[in-house]
Amino acid sequence: MILIPAIDLKDGQCVRLRQGLMEDATIFSEDPLAMGRHWQNLGAERLHLVDLNGAFEGKPENEVAISQIVDAIGENVPVQVGGGIRDLVTIERYIKRGVAFVIIGTAAVRKPQFLKEACSAFPGHIIVGLDGKEGKVAVDGWAAVTEDRVIDLAQKFQDYGVEGVIYTDIGRDGMMTGANIESTQELASSLDIPVIASGGISSIDDILRLKELEAHGVTAAITGRAIYELAFDFKEANRVAKYG
């Protein structure tokens, strides 16, 4: 299992939200490129970039910052990008730029055919992001909760050919309250594709508990606020994620 640093972009700055609320953002850096290089220097094997403005607006809004990071380190550290990706043209533009994986969230739920077409057009590059609240899928930057169950949609999208699923418990995201181990294990056990855990990681103990789910298919965990607030050392946490 690897530990993936998150760089959440809002108005060109690196921020973290609490429970996905744009009005509850903490700015951690005004230089996302420097932050990307920072995590690269500490041994990150992948970066997770989220265009928060894009997620709410429905179209990319932080492409300049994303492009700078990918141009600088994308050849050495694979970059996955999500937020505001609603059409094949955007996906193609990101992949041509050097983005390794494109994350489709709201659009996958609202327009499953789009996700199917994306998997067909860009095999090996599509990850689906499913954000859950009490087992149901949230969309539109977490502004709305659907009646769809996370597990049901994940199984459906697995058949489409997605490379993996990023599962975020939005009730815990940015709250430093610990990962939702039970729901993550339940989801991973129901799938044959990798699951990337996200939301609430606050300690080395959380990482050790997620590490125990590796046999169920949890291959990575995304961490954000904890590493920015120095709740634990990233290099040590990444070593624990890889080797236990």
Among 21-35, 82-96, 195-209, which is the least confidently predicted range? Answer: 21-35
Judge whether residue 19 has pLDDT over 60. Answer: no
Judge whether residue 141 has pLDDT over 70. Answer: no
Q: Is 131 a catalytic residue?
A: yes
pLDDT of residue 174: 43
Q: Is 159 a catalytic residue?
A: no
Rounded distance between C-alpha atoms, residue 196 and residue 167, angstroms? 6
pLDDT tens column, 144-164: 787 899 999 999 999 999 999
- Residue 23's contacts (CB-CB under 8 Å, 6 or more residues apart) are none
- Catalytic residue, candidates 31, 51, 71, 131: 131
The CA-based dihedral angle spanning residues 187, 162, 143, 186, taken in that order and rounded to the nearest 10 degrees? 0
Q: Say if residues 107 and 135 touch (Cβ distance below 8 Å).
A: no
